Structure 1
Amino acid sequence: MFRNCLALAIAGLSLGVSPVAMATAQGAQQGADAALPQPAAPVQQLVDDVDIPYQTFTLDNGLQVIVSPDDKAPVVAVSVWYHVGSKDEPKGKTGFAHLFEHLMFGGSENSNQSWFKPMQDIGATDMNGTTYFDRTNYFETVPRGALDTALFLESDRMGHLLPAVTQEKLDIQRGVVQNEKRQGDNQPGGLIDYEIYGTLFPEGHPYHHTTIGSMADLDAASLETVKDWFRNHYGPNNAVLVLAGDIDVPTAKTLVRKYFGDIPRGPQSHPAEASVPTLDAPVHRDFKDQVANTTVSRVWAIPGMTSEDAPALDLAASVLGGLASSRLDNQLVRDEKIAVSVSAGAQQFERVGLFQVNAVVKPGVDPQKVGQRVDRIIADFLKEGPTQAELTRAKTQTVAGTIRGLESVGGFGGKAVTLAQGAIYAGDPGYYKKQLRQKVALTPEQVRQTARKWLSRPVFSYTLSPGERGEYQEAASAVGKPAQIGAPSYYRAPLSSEHPLARKPAHFATPAERAASLRASVAPAPAPQGVDRSHLPEVGTIADLDFPTIERAKLSNGIPVVFAHRGGVPIVRVAMDFDAGAAADPAGKSGLQAFMVTLMDEGTDRYDSAQIAKAKENLGATISVGSNMDRSGVYMTALTPNLAPSLDLMADIVRNPAFRPSDVERVRDQQLARIASEAKQPVGIALRTLPPILYGDGHPYGVPFSGTGDPAVVSKLTPQEIAQFHNAWIRPEKARIYVVGDTTLDQVMPLLESSFGDWKGTGAVPKKDFAAGTPAAQNRVLLIDRPNSPQSLIFGGELLPVQGTDDILPLEQANDILGSSFLSRLNSDLREEKHWAYGVSGFINRVEKQVPYLIYAPVQANQTGPSIAAMTQDINQFLTEKGVTQAELQRTINGSIRELPGQFETAADVLNGLEANARFDRPDDYYETLASRLRALSADELDAAARKVIDTSKLTWVVIGDAASVKPQLEKLGLPVEVQGSAGAGTPE
């Protein structure tokens, strides 16, 4: 069915608010908004101060190198970007770019082993590789003393890869990638991306297919074709290498020429050109999937990231649905209450992009009505444009988000990503600065005109509603003859964790640094000397962690303050933790705490929900409220110049939430929708199902670990109950404040005293009751039927005779070998050897009281039973005749010690460390003494720690999958098997 959504919106004017009423409301709102906290630093000043010093040079073989010194931590980010992605794949070879990325981790000629083995040994952090439409990148952050090793390995796989690429490795990684595809496809709505790209970009367009590829093309990938992909695209002349962190330019020149200089230039890659297509007419489609709530969406193809229109489209998306104070939020969620959530975003690639608007419909509301209101709001925006106030908030949020990312040198974001993106896509590592300046200079009319230019074109609209999807197209190599899917043949999975990430530049330059003009290109240096590739370089000196000095103080009402200085960027992070959490819920009131914390920033005695959102955006601050099983907290990141007004706003949220009935009803709908969504997602089902089985109904931890609670409880909670819970648990006697960032304790204490020092609690101080016992462990399988699932999610668990506050360092190190690292026994078996899974993990969920050991394993459906059998065997062998080897011990201990500097690079990392010390009753010097304690551990101690507490005969397995195909496999395990419906309830078979 075809229809013009904007025309329908205009026809449905009766659904809107009258212009007179709207103008009156806007006038009243503007008067109320005048009292909101005001920023101390204008947005233009913030932009002027943002900078990333760097130098560039190019080797004779064409490798472009960018060096950005930053000595705040003794680590260096190494990031290699190849200018090739899935848009460059020829017909019939979709998924090759991403498949090849996986092969790059399988070893090279002179280090023919898993990439992760030497990387773990040297203590690499923020380590991964990603592929998207336009690029493939590989990155790791390593201690300065291990930089030679990282450069050896990166250069070896750039120049000496193919001798190590075998048919066996190709088959293994093909299976891993196909399970990555299944994992994405298995999510509710996981097939929608195929429709979006397949509709907006015609057959033959480089962006017509998604990055993961089709099952058929992945099956057809031959060894020689894969090798040709490397030969044609992976030469140094098609790459950019960024070194960011504790390194100077002369050293970088010497090392890069040593390791990369002898790699020959390859064929010049020519990234595919692509224009922005326009639909001939509006397109609408209706889809069904195992979703909890209906979503209405509008999508347009737009220009790419270097287009002059990109900054305006990004701001338009923020004003429409990106900001918490956006028009869609205010009108559809807050005012009319016909949607439970909305969003808008401009996702920009190299050549093209997507502008998408989504609204999740409130249950019981006609989706067509919501779609018409979305269209009308968009039409009004195209007619009137943003206000200056809206645009200022959007600009401030953009710049503040950039500054918040200035600390990190590498990883998925950070300085290295920012510089590499600019170099790859715009030929300018400093392109981020140009984008910020362009964005801040835009006027409301310029944004309106640009939005109208692109969003007045025919739209692709769709509705995704609850229902059953068709059969799944399987891989021929996995199950023989592929099944047919009730969808177009070009369906390909979206990437899960491998989408491009937001830019996060990682250095805040002083005026003197900027005046130094480090951006000058550096002349080529002498020819490289040869490198001995017969062995890995020796790791240099890596000093033990020097954790920031911890200072302590108390407010006049007794609230403890824990402080650590972390300079380099003008931000301050504040956390206010309360001894509450989901475990504080009274018996029969599961979800009360979570509902309460969700409501805290939805309205106070001074401000309503929209005003709080505007205030945060004006200040460039983030203030969020959240919780885990043991703690509730309010978390703020503020720009240093705006710290005082940001703290004032945070204090109002903490101390004076209003819990207005209208807000309670609106947020109740959102919370119930969230719970319903959890009950449709495999991980959500598992987190709601297993903990009550392990702990029992009467235990504080015997509730869904998501914390969202029981929908029957949430649907009946009253404002009075919520306010009483807040007064009882969110109080100064249960509070502790942590501050890390660009300030001093002397400077911040008066601000904290002003905000919180006069706060007093009332009534008795409650305590959590952990007296309830736990049920006897049952080694059984609970199968939750989820028809047509291409994967089964296996979620196993048992309670350990261990408290979270115990010293469990030996157990944690043992589990690093068994389950928690990439090289763990469980992941190595199911992913790297059997390739039945994209990733498997066994982990200790460290709550404060009795901890569970949990196993997470999404596996291909036809290997569900064998996967449980294999994991059980792996664990039993680890606990008996195949304990920790000396090689595993050395690798995990070396890695755990050497990665500590990278683990505490940022203020957020330090803040998390401070909170963990308090939560688990650890001394202030815990992290600084950790290295010596790790060195003293032996293989026997690790074996003893694991064997004392882990017992496979006590594991309960929850399996979420298609019962028709999975149950016969499970029955072969010799364990009791119980089947329930997909919502976790129903009559057992």
Structure 2
Amino acid sequence: MTSLPRLALLLAGASALAAAVPSFATQTASAQTGAAPAATDVRPAPLASLVRQVSIPNTVFKLANGLTVVVHEDRKAPVVAVSTWYNVGSKDEPRGKTGYAHLFEHLMFNGSENLPGDFFTYLQQVGATDYNGTTSFDRTNYFQTAPRGALDKVLFMESDRMGYLLGALTQEKLDNQRGVVQNEKRQGDNRPGGLVFYEVLGNLFPAGHPYHHSTIGSMADLDAASLADVQAWFRDNYGPNNAVLVLAGDISATEARPLVEKYFGSIKRGPVNVPAKAAVPVAAARPTIVMKDRVAATQIMRFWPVPGLLDKQSTILDLGGSVLGGLASSRLDNALVRNEKLAVAVSAGNQTFQRVGLFSVQATVKPGVDPAVVEKRLDELMADFIRTGPTSEELRRAATQAVASEIRGLEQVGGFGGKAVALAEGQVYAGNSNFYKQELNELASVTPAKVHTSFARWLTRPPLKIRLEPGERPPYQEAAVRPAGTAEKAGTPPPSTKREVPKVGQLASLDFPTVERAQLTNGVRITYAQRTAVPITQMALSFDAGSAADPANRRGLQGMTLSLLDEGAGGLTSQQIAERKEELGAEISVGESPDRSTVYLSALSANLAPSLDLLETVIEQPTFAPAEVERVRTQALTGIAQAQKDPNQIASRILPGLLYGANHPYAAVGAGDPNAVKALTRDDLVAFQQRWLRPDNMEVFVVSNLPLRDLVPQLEQRFGSWRAPAVPKGTKQFAALPVRPAAPRIVLVDRPGSPQSVILGGQLTPVDPRGDIVSVSSASEVFGGNFLSRINTDLRETRGWSYGVRSNFQLNQNAAPYFINAPVQADRTGESIAALNQQLKDLLTTKGVTGEELTRLVSNNVDALPGRFETSQAVLGALISNSLYGRPDNYYETLPAKYRGLTTSGLDASLKGAIDPNAFVWVVVGDAAKVRPQLDKLGFPVEVAQPR
């Protein structure tokens, strides 16, 4: 469960870290390589034709109690996205009650009158996927994608918490979730730059303005929330007449209406909520604020309040912001980063809310450059853009990228950004489920003149200026300590109403697309699966390299090489490559893992031929121009310096070396070692590309709406004649894994003033990542693999010390280490490690896996399979991981039988053979003055380390 994300602060990175690796595949067929086609047509598809591809047909009806229902039929998979949106958010909170909307979002997952306990229990029992809840300024939503046979039960669940919640809401639940939310706030605040957004809202919007305070609220208001307060909040805002229910997927409106009437029809109307009005504030002057925090480089920021979603100006500002600083080819990027090299990163864009918007321009100053110079130049470029406006070509590229993103989003029915979200946003905010069409048509009609007029009107007003400088932030404002057992007087809950919980119907099994194979004339293998839901081709060119290919004294070489592939190639400059990607609506990105270096292409199938031309140029003809090498080196070093200040990255950079030893290939982390990156030469980069990024070290994976017979000739034309260079292909040297320690140790990194401690524990295991891991990974799931795991239930849901705790095996090709990640409030650091240790010991000895846990994990892993492979991106990840781990194409089709064959005793034995409670190395990043005394009480040796 999440609140509205804070504005992203610009932190330069060494490379684009990449893609997901969920995994599935099935049967194999062969395909023959065809003849190369004639010269390709390089003209992109017209924008108007792309806009026409974005279509979400839907039916809207309303129940007598006021519940609005939107239904979209999509039969591609046996799943239905169920998304419930309440027309209330943090902008509707009165003074002194900030954070209530988000707090109540958490409480809505803690059980209802007819479904006691955690709602995640019921969702996992039916194999739901993509389930969560979020709160923003303007709405609160709850969503899940359910197997079609479980739709009745999921609708019952949503209706029970809409109409039958108060009888299950207790003081204990309120106190627990208050603690969870406060730890969510600490977790966000603890990050470098985590306090900036509070200053933005507080200074841009005057006191009393609905957008003056953050969605997560203040510690003081959260402390003051009483049970009576939250009960009143529910009564006032959670009636059916203040909600929109969207069903998208394997269902028609005819099928949906009687189901919705059955489960929601008897719920009584609530008070009429009229969302708070909010004008765009006008000010004759705005302050300049200097903040200090643990950042590697000074960040210059400008903020303007602008019109919101329902104003046509919003779309114009969106597109103009992309041209100014959102696209890779943007004006600011080209001037400040590429040409003048004054900044390592820039951005500009419009963050749109229902009533208002927030336009921002930001630049991260290149280390060694005077921030005043960057500030002056940034303001000059902004003024120039306002004066001259964009070109038609710039707008066309920006619009194409935006429409291409919409088309990609059409493949998913639910989740955080699928079709259900587009329909719900329009219905809730504009009273029109087809509002997305209006936005796209407006986007396609934006002209340079419109941008010029809009920018001149809204962005010549005084901005809020913030400069975030390296330094120590002020003391953190902590929550008050609530006495144990404190209970405020609550309103009288309604009498409990018993409802019959529906049974789950027949659930469909996984129907994974057929896997086909082909081979180019130079031996490059192609693994393919077809998905026809959207006209998109997803492709991965995977090289057997990864960070493990870096020599021990050249950590960061692989990342630098990948980052430079599209920074100039085949006679095209970095700017020209960026522009070409944008006009095609294509995405070319790189991803690195310990074992593989991958270049990804996501192309509109209508523009596949020219997109492949560009991919060929980037892969086969990188320039590694000296000026670009130095620019990317600076970005990489700034990214590393920032990682050395972020608590999560500090821990993740230190732990691998402690586990493997400094010289092991898997000890390489993140963007690499700063001293090594400083010393890299152009010759090093070229040599890495020649040894590792070559056709005899490459495998191609494709998921497309186009058949393989149409794709192979196009791939043959671009890559079939690519020959390996004369230099020997690279090889990786893996020595035997070190012996696990016989006793735990703690490595403490002092980060003064941290309101939270990041705990990261790890150990090497004897698990074979290429073997049968179903049993041991299932046992790990019980311990820490999901929301209902033992350690998350303990530290989050029972004790309220953390926003979330997880553990898992990291499956590398040659090792499977085990990690536990636990960000906890600072004053509970020692107790949290003790609790984690105790939970593991209990699981391995006296409190083994229970029958209920086994039943739930089988349902969660078997019944959810169809939903987990809804998108082509998920299928692509499956093809890649099956290759990495040497699995057969039908691997995931065999899983249901394997899961159903598990036993509690077998799970216990598998985890005992893999994990040793005494072998953990614990890295703790926190305020040593508060944390060290707690750690000393544990009886483990404690040593102090510096960020690496």
After TM superposition, the score normalised by the length of structure 1 is: 0.90
1:54 corresponds to: 58
1:679 aligns with one of 640, 644, 664: 644
Deviation at 1:534, TM superposition (A): 4.2
Deviation at 1:353, TM superposition (A): 1.1
Q: Is the 8 A contact 1:601 1:625 kept in 2?
A: no
Measured at CA, do residues 439 and 689 of structure 1 come closer, stay the same or move farther in structure 2, by a change above 3 Å? same
Deviation at 1:479, TM superposition (A): 9.2
1:396 corresponds to: 400
Deviation at 1:839, TM superposition (A): 0.2
2:623 corresponds to: 658
Q: Which whole-Å CA distance do the structure 2 matches of 1:56 and 1:776 have between them?
A: 60
Deviation at 1:282, TM superposition (A): 3.5
1:872 corresponds to: 837
**Given residue 79 of structure 2, which amino acid in structure 1 is its aligned partner?**
V
Deviation at 1:625, TM superposition (A): 1.3
2:186 corresponds to: 182
Query: How do 1:138-149 and structure 2 match up within 5 A?
Result: 138-149=142-153
Deviation at 1:980, TM superposition (A): 2.8
Deviation at 1:543, TM superposition (A): 2.0
Deviation at 1:606, TM superposition (A): 2.2
Q: Which whole-Å CA distance do the structure 1 matches of 2:499 and 2:172 have between them?
A: 24
1:770 corresponds to: 734
2:903 aligns with one of 928, 933, 938: 938
Q: Secondary structure at the match of 1:662?
A: helix
Q: Which whole-Å CA distance do the structure 1 matches of 2:482 and 2:584 have between them?
A: 53
1:862 corresponds to: 827
- Within the alignment, does 1:949 sit opposite 2:914 as a pair? yes
Deviation at 1:277, TM superposition (A): 0.3
1:892 corresponds to: 857
CA displacement, residues 830-878 of structure 1 (integer Å, 9 cap, x when unaligned): 0000000000001111111111100110000000000000000001100
1:782 corresponds to: 747
Q: Secondary structure at the match of 1:68?
A: strand
1:902 corresponds to: 867
Q: Is the 8 A contact 1:37 1:649 kept in 2?
A: no
Q: Secondary structure at the match of 1:247?
A: coil
1:320 aligns with one of 324, 329, 333: 324
Q: Which whole-Å CA distance do the structure 2 matches of 1:978 and 1:804 have between them?
A: 31
- Within the alignment, does 1:737 sit opposite 2:700 as a pair? yes
Q: Secondary structure at the match of 2:667?
A: coil
CA displacement, residues 426-446 of structure 1 (integer Å, 9 cap, x when unaligned): 110010110110111111011
Measured at CA, do residues 39 and 578 of structure 1 come closer, stay the same or move farther in structure 2, by a change above 3 Å? same
Q: Secondary structure at the match of 2:481?
A: helix
Q: Which whole-Å CA distance do the structure 2 matches of 1:711 and 1:584 have between them?
A: 17
2:231 aligns with one of 227, 244, 251: 227
1:216 aligns with one of 186, 203, 220: 220
1:912 corresponds to: 877
Q: Secondary structure at the match of 1:949?
A: coil
1:90 corresponds to: 94
Q: Secondary structure at the match of 1:213?
A: coil
1:717 corresponds to: 680
Q: Which whole-Å CA distance do the structure 1 matches of 2:878 and 2:740 have between them?
A: 35
Q: Which whole-Å CA distance do the structure 1 matches of 2:895 and 2:634 have between them?
A: 46
1:377 corresponds to: 381
Pairwise CA RMSD = 1.4
CA displacement, residues 404-449 of structure 1 (integer Å, 9 cap, x when unaligned): 1110000011000000000011110010110110111111011111
2:21 corresponds to: none
Q: Secondary structure at the match of 2:753?
A: coil
1:294 aligns with one of 275, 288, 298: 298
Q: Is the 8 A contact 1:36 1:615 kept in 2?
A: no
Report how many aligned residue pairs link the two structures: 897
2:776 corresponds to: 811
Measured at CA, do residues 775 and 697 of structure 1 come closer, stay the same or move farther in structure 2, by a change above 3 Å? farther
- Within the alignment, does 1:350 sit opposite 2:354 as a pair? yes
Percent identical across equivalent pairs? 55
Measured at CA, do residues 170 and 344 of structure 1 come closer, stay the same or move farther in structure 2, by a change above 3 Å? same
Q: Which whole-Å CA distance do the structure 1 matches of 2:80 and 2:782 have between them?
A: 26
Q: Is the 8 A contact 1:698 1:772 kept in 2?
A: no
Deviation at 1:181, TM superposition (A): 0.5
Q: Which whole-Å CA distance do the structure 2 matches of 1:42 and 1:980 have between them?
A: 57
Q: Which whole-Å CA distance do the structure 1 matches of 2:446 and 2:222 have between them?
A: 45
Q: Which whole-Å CA distance do the structure 2 matches of 1:478 and 1:852 have between them?
A: 39
- Within the alignment, does 1:796 sit opposite 2:761 as a pair? yes
- Within the alignment, does 1:837 sit opposite 2:802 as a pair? yes
Deviation at 1:772, TM superposition (A): 5.1
Deviation at 1:303, TM superposition (A): 0.7
Q: Which whole-Å CA distance do the structure 1 matches of 2:846 and 2:447 have between them?
A: 70
Q: Is the 8 A contact 1:106 1:114 kept in 2?
A: yes
Query: How do 1:198-213 and structure 2 match up within 5 A?
Result: 198-213=202-217
Q: Secondary structure at the match of 2:666?
A: coil
Q: Secondary structure at the match of 1:73?
A: coil
1:488 corresponds to: none
2:550 corresponds to: 585
Q: Secondary structure at the match of 1:573?
A: strand
Query: How do 1:546-565 and structure 2 match up within 5 A?
Result: 546-565=511-530
2:36 corresponds to: none
Q: Which whole-Å CA distance do the structure 1 matches of 2:178 and 2:638 have between them?
A: 37
- Within the alignment, does 1:438 sit opposite 2:402 as a pair? no
Q: Which whole-Å CA distance do the structure 1 matches of 2:104 and 2:464 have between them?
A: 32
Provide structure 2 residue ranges, at least 5 long, that are not aligned to the other structure: 1-38, 485-495
1:598 corresponds to: 563
1:973 corresponds to: 938
Q: Which whole-Å CA distance do the structure 1 matches of 2:343 and 2:565 have between them?
A: 20
1:726 corresponds to: 689
**Given residue 866 of structure 1, which amino acid in structure 2 is its aligned partner?**
E
Q: Secondary structure at the match of 1:851?
A: coil
Q: Which whole-Å CA distance do the structure 2 matches of 1:945 and 1:146 have between them?
A: 31
**Given residue 113 of structure 2, which amino acid in structure 1 is its aligned partner?**
E
Q: Which whole-Å CA distance do the structure 2 matches of 1:228 and 1:157 have between them?
A: 15
Q: Is the 8 A contact 2:314 2:357 kept in 1?
A: no
Deviation at 1:49, TM superposition (A): 2.5
CA displacement, residues 456-495 of structure 1 (integer Å, 9 cap, x when unaligned): 0011111101100111111113699xxxxxxxxxxxxxxx
CA displacement, residues 959-987 of structure 1 (integer Å, 9 cap, x when unaligned): 00000010000000000011234x35xxx
Q: Which whole-Å CA distance do the structure 1 matches of 2:541 and 2:908 have between them?
A: 38
Deviation at 1:238, TM superposition (A): 0.3
Q: Is the 8 A contact 1:695 1:775 kept in 2?
A: no
Q: Is the 8 A contact 1:36 1:611 kept in 2?
A: no
**Given residue 570 of structure 1, which amino acid in structure 2 is its aligned partner?**
P
- Within the alignment, does 1:341 sit opposite 2:345 as a pair? yes
Q: Secondary structure at the match of 2:767?
A: strand
- Within the alignment, does 1:191 sit opposite 2:195 as a pair? yes
1:755 corresponds to: 718
Deviation at 1:452, TM superposition (A): 1.1
1:527 corresponds to: none
Measured at CA, do residues 533 and 563 of structure 1 come closer, stay the same or move farther in structure 2, by a change above 3 Å? farther
Q: Which whole-Å CA distance do the structure 1 matches of 2:340 and 2:665 have between them?
A: 37
Provide structure 1 residue ranges, at least 5 long, that are not aligned to the other structure: 1-34, 481-530, 985-989
Deviation at 1:451, TM superposition (A): 1.0
Deviation at 1:537, TM superposition (A): 1.4
Q: Secondary structure at the match of 2:766?
A: strand
Q: Which whole-Å CA distance do the structure 1 matches of 2:578 and 2:535 have between them?
A: 22
Measured at CA, do residues 691 and 36 of structure 1 come closer, stay the same or move farther in structure 2, by a change above 3 Å? farther
Q: Which whole-Å CA distance do the structure 1 matches of 2:381 and 2:404 have between them?
A: 27
After TM superposition, the score normalised by the length of structure 2 is: 0.94
1:415 corresponds to: 419
**Given residue 673 of structure 2, which amino acid in structure 1 is its aligned partner?**
D
Q: Secondary structure at the match of 2:508?
A: coil
Q: Is the 8 A contact 1:572 1:638 kept in 2?
A: yes
Deviation at 1:402, TM superposition (A): 0.5
**Given residue 441 of structure 1, which amino acid in structure 2 is its aligned partner?**
S
Q: Is the 8 A contact 2:41 2:609 kept in 1?
A: no
CA displacement, residues 113-163 of structure 1 (integer Å, 9 cap, x when unaligned): 100001001011100000010000000001000001100000000000000
Deviation at 1:61, TM superposition (A): 0.2
1:462 corresponds to: 466
Deviation at 1:38, TM superposition (A): 4.0
